[in-house]
Amino acid sequence: MMTSCGLLTAQNKPVPLKSIEVELEVRDHVATVVSILNYKNKEDKPLEAVFIFPLPGDAAVCHFSAKIGQTQIVAEVKEKQKAREEYDDALSSGQQAFLLEESDQSPDIFSLSVGSLPPGESASIRLEYVAELAVQADDGLRFCLPAVLNPRYQPRGGLSSVGLVPYSLSFSARVSSPRPISKVESNCSLDPLQYLNTDQTQATVKLAAGHKFDRDVELLIYYKDAHQPTAVVEAGQASAEPGSLMGDPVVMVSLYPEFPQSAMSSCGEFVFLMDRSGSMSNTRIRSAKDTLLLLLKSLPKGCCFNIYSFGSRYEHIFPKSVEYSQQTMEEALNTVEQMEANLGETEILEPLKHIYNQPCIPNQPRQLFVFTDGEVRNTKEVIDLVKKNSDSHRCFSFGIGEGASSALINGMAKEGGGHAQFITGTDRMQPKVMQSLRFALQPTVVDISVTWDLPKEVSVTVLSPPITALFQGQRSLIYSQLSGQSSEAAEGCVTVKYSLAGHPSENQLHFSLRPAEDTGLTVHRLGARTLIRSLEMEEREHRGQQVGGVKEKVVHLSVQTGVSSSFTAFISVNKDNSEVIQGPLVCRNVPTPCEFLPKAKLKVSHSSEAKMISALCAHRHLPSCSQCDDHAFNTSASCHDWTLDVQLLFHLCTFSPPAAVHEHLSRDPLLQLVSLQEASGCWLLDPALATALGKTSKEVKKSKPEKVGFLWATVLALIWLHAFKMDAKDEWELLAMKAASWLRAQNAPCESECVDAGNILLGSSVKKEALGL
């Protein structure tokens, strides 16, 4: 289920966008985002419009204002029902009014009713929010500006072209951290990074001129010494009451531990839950199937596994999790290869309930991997279910594409003590998923405790819920309110203790209690958001019971801090405008450029061309034809005789084929090799292996040293991986470790001779030690 975004009429059609201005302020691991979106009603009648805005799941909306013509209106937070009534009253009396509220089902979608937009009038909407930045597998912090905010528009009677899209995007970012900034990268062209001081702890960057905003703008920020803990102390608001959350200083402690290398677990129950809704068609389902192949080949001996898939209904390969063996692996792979994106909508709750109702296997810790590319209607209920079962498993979640709900993906991983990953644009799913498998194979961290050592005149109130999970690659932020007075030179200390694989560890961080200058209120607002989310979950857990005023606490905290919640809304009314609106409000269908392109047809005569176009359509998420599963195609009796609207070519010709398209047309040699590996970790000597290595069966057999026996195929496969696929090491490293372990167990005396012969055959120079032998 995709949610349309931007300024829309009641019929879900876009109001023309003139420009977008975005300013990003990043402080260590958190960000403040200011977005200004400018629209214009080009109709001759007033419009009642709704503004839909996608946000990160943990974001805290802290400011909303609007400007209609020369009238500036600033919103304030009020209890939701009271705000709705005030909005309705204002509209009925002809006043301009705006209402911003959180979706009832998903906290990462905000709905803004902008009331009456007079004919010919411009609307400027300013939205400010704060958010925690997600940590990627390579230690980078990720910010994403979604492209769904850029609806195309063309006035009636005109013909659209890419060069005439009448809006602009201005995007700039300022980054600061206690640690030096090593680099900032993006999927879009950037101007060079500008450092603002000699120690390189502050920098600015902006988009290069001419950006078309035809895809999400992704920013990746890297710090030196990424695993070093940090603390940011933020001063309270001068106008706020001392002793209140906004009046006291708040400290944010960032923990991103790097654990010592320990033996990977050789046991566990691995449950994979794959989205097979209609939006997963073509390249996405192919990538998902390739990912399941890698996962199944990389599982350790002695574990158990099962694969579920879901849409409007759900399926599972085995009635219950089975022991990992050659037979069960082959049975699973045969089923996976037949999977299609044909199960309807995205309904994840029922398969989750079924999984959790299965008894856990003794001495096999359950690890749940969830893959989805969409949103669900009951995000909060799903997250609550994961939390309820957090003691019996860890949950690793993956959001595929721009439509994936960050609230769902982040919420499941957070409550399930796992890790969240997002696969967008031309990202490959496989390396991110394999990174999470490494996390899942790490021993569980237990006995986690956080203690504070502060001057006696200072007390601490922890705003964050207790840390329930830690593992390498996971970042934890702890927000705490500091009450009382202290000297400027005073220091605080926070100590984090935990036990990993039976070994106790301790991290201690000393920090100055003096607030940093010019920090704004980012940390305060995120601390408030964290506390609000905890209270909201408590209210849902005890719904229907007599629990003392949890909802009232949320409303009070939300109003006090100016941070949105599920029980409050932003409301603003221009009471100076008493002129009654003349005539009824109308909802106007504002067309997109596609609707103005001619309906001429193009014959696609070759199946390879058709597959390329189909893959491109899937990559661009173009609308499907109502008569078939293929994107924007009408098919005749022969699948090779396809016709294609010119409006579709408009989209296809403006984008280069992504790497995923080429994978769709010819199977990746790496995946060919991986598919031949046995569950034990070895490879068998057969013609398919020779083909994957780029050799003939005759060449492979002729180069085989005497007395090598059945080791030859596995050594060749390992050499090929290390010699020619090091750029994809993240994808094959675990299965290569399993292969090396198998070779060592054979205790063969001729490994060196075998490696030398393999290098000669493949034209490489890989050392025996590099193979783990």
Evaluate whether 744 touches 701 at the Cβ level (below 8 Å).
no
More confident residue, 329 or 589: 329
Residues 6 or more apart whose CB falls under 8 angstroms from that of 486 comprise 454, 455, 457, 458, 513
Beta-carbon contacts of residue 345 (< 8 Å; ≥ 6 apart): 1, 277, 278, 311, 312
Q: Which stretch of 128-132, 168-172, 385-389 has the lowest confidence by average pLDDT? A: 168-172
648-666 average pLDDT score: 35
Asked if residue 615 has pLDDT above 70, the reply is no
User: What is the pLDDT at residue 729?
Assistant: 87
230-261+445-561 has the same fold as 6-152+170-225+563-574: yes
Lowest mean per-residue pLDDT among 194-198, 333-337, 625-629, 762-766:
625-629
The residues, any chain, with a CB within 8 Å of residue 502's CB and separated by 6 or more, are: none
Question: What is the rounded distance in angstroms from the CA atom of residue 553 to the CA atom of residue 61?
Answer: 18
Q: Which two tokens stand for residue 258?
A: 């790097």
Q: What is the pLDDT of residue 405?
A: 81
Cα angle vertex 506, ends 505, 512, to 5°?
A: 165
pLDDT score at 613? 42
Pick the range with the lowest mean pLDDT from 497-511, 678-692, 721-735: 497-511
More confident residue, 577 or 162: 577
Looking up tokens 């049975």 gives: 331
pLDDT above 90 covers a percentage of the chain that reads 25
Could you tell me the two tokens for 535?
A: 């209270």
**3-state SS assignment for residue 203:** strand
Which of these, 220, 174, 215, lies nearest to 197 by C-alpha position?
Answer: 174
pLDDT at 603: 34
pLDDT of residue 282: 79
Q: Where are the domains of the chain?
A: 6-152+170-225+563-574, 230-261+445-561, 269-440, 595-660, 669-771
CA 54: distance to chain centroid?
13
Top-confidence residue, 587 or 253: 253
Cα 292 to its chain centre, rounded Å, is: 19
Amino acid making up residue 466: P
> What share of the chain has pLDDT > 70, as a percent?
76
Which stretches within 499-641 are classed as H helix? Answer: 522-541, 550-561, 607-620
613 — phi, psi (to 5°)?
A: -65, -40
pLDDT for residue 105: 55
Q: Is residue 666's pLDDT more than 80?
A: no
Q: In whole angstroms, give the CA distance from residue 304 to residue 362.
A: 11
Question: Which residues are registered as beta bridge partners of 400?
Answer: 423
Round to whole Å and give the CA distance between 566 and 104: 7
Distance CA 757, CA 754 (A): 5
| Cα 383 to Cα 60: distance, rounded to the nearest angstrom | 18
Q: What is the pLDDT of residue 103?
A: 63
**Mean pLDDT within 326-344:** 92
The terminus-to-terminus CA distance of the chain in angstroms comes to 49
| pLDDT tops 90 at residue 157 | no
pLDDT at 705: 86
- Please say if the pLDDT value at position 529 is more than 60: yes
pLDDT value, residue 426: 67
Q: Is the model's pLDDT at 164 over the cut of 50?
A: no
Dihedrals phi, psi of 247, to nearest 5 degrees? -85, -25
Judged against a pLDDT cut of 60, whether residue 634 lies above it is answered with no
Return the CATH number of 6-152+170-225+563-574, one of 3.40.50, 3.40.462, 2.40.160, 2.60.40.
2.60.40
Let me know if 706 is exposed, middle or buried by CB neighbors in 10 A (0-12, 13-18, 19+): exposed
Residues 6+ apart with CB under 8 A from 331: 317
Least confident of 9-23, 147-161, 319-333, 501-515: 147-161
State which amino acid sits at residue 517.
Answer: E
- Residues whose CB is less than 8 angstroms from the CB of residue 223 and which lie 6 or more positions away in sequence, other chains included: 139, 141, 177, 179, 180, 181, 182
Mean pLDDT across the stretch 137-160?
60
Tell me: pLDDT of 22 over 80: yes
Q: Does domain 230-261+445-561 fall into CATH 1.10.10.10?
A: no
What is the per-residue DSSP string for 527-565? HHHHHHHHHHHHHHHTTTS--TTHHHHHHHHHHHHT---
Q: So what's the pLDDT on residue 639?
A: 33
Mean of the pLDDT values across residues 214-230?
A: 85
Taking residues 441-469, what's their average pLDDT? 85
Q: Which residue has the higher pLDDT, 368 or 256?
A: 368
**Which pLDDT score, from 0 to 100, does residue 367 have?**
93
**Residue 206 predicted with pLDDT over 70:** yes
pLDDT tier at 575 (50, 70, 90 boundaries)? low
**Cβ atoms < 10 Å from Cβ of 250:** 27
**Cβ neighbours around 319 below 10 Å, total:** 8
**342-361 per-position pLDDT tens digit:** 888 888 999 999 999 999 88
Alpha-carbon torsion 619, 154, 20, 121, what sign?
negative
Please tell me the distance from the alpha carbon of residue 616 to that of residue 632, in angstroms, as a whole number: 11
Two tokens at 528?
A: 């408030």
C-beta separation of 442 from 265 below 8 A? yes
Tens digits of per-residue pLDDT, 396-452?
998 888 778 878 888 898 888 888 888 876 677 888 888 888 888 877 777 888 899
| pLDDT tens string 29-82 | 999 999 888 888 877 777 777 767 777 766 778 888 878 777 777 888 899 889
269-440 CATH: 3.40.50.410
Tokens of 126: 């300013």
Is the pLDDT assigned to residue 156 strictly greater than 90? no
Taking each helix axis from N to C terminus, what angle separates 406-415 and 379-388, rounded to the nearest 10 degrees? 10
- Kindly state the average pLDDT of the residues 187-194: 88
Given a contact cutoff of 8 angstroms between Cβ atoms, the answer to whether 522 and 234 are in contact is yes
Distance CA 92, CA 36 (A): 28
Q: What is the mean pLDDT of the chain?
A: 77
Q: What are the residues whose beta carbons fall under 8 Å from the beta carbon of 458, sequence distance 6 or more?
A: 482, 483, 484, 485, 486, 490, 492, 513
Residue 610 pLDDT greater than 50, yes or no? no
Q: Are 275 and 310 in contact (CB under 8 A)?
A: yes
The Cα-based distances of 691 to 170, 463, 670, 756 in angstroms read: 51, 59, 12, 21
Q: What is the pLDDT of residue 595?
A: 26
Task: Decide if pLDDT at 478 tops 70.
Answer: yes
Q: What is the average per-residue pLDDT within 583-600?
A: 30
What value does the mean pLDDT take over residues 457-471? Answer: 84
User: What is the arrangement of strands in the sheet containing 76-79, beginning at the earlier edge strand?
Assistant: 6-9, 47-54, 109-117, 96-102, 568-574, 76-79
Return the pLDDT at 607. 37
Query: Quick one: which H or E segment has residue 253?
Result: strand 250-255
Rounded distance, CA 187 to CA 586, Å? 40
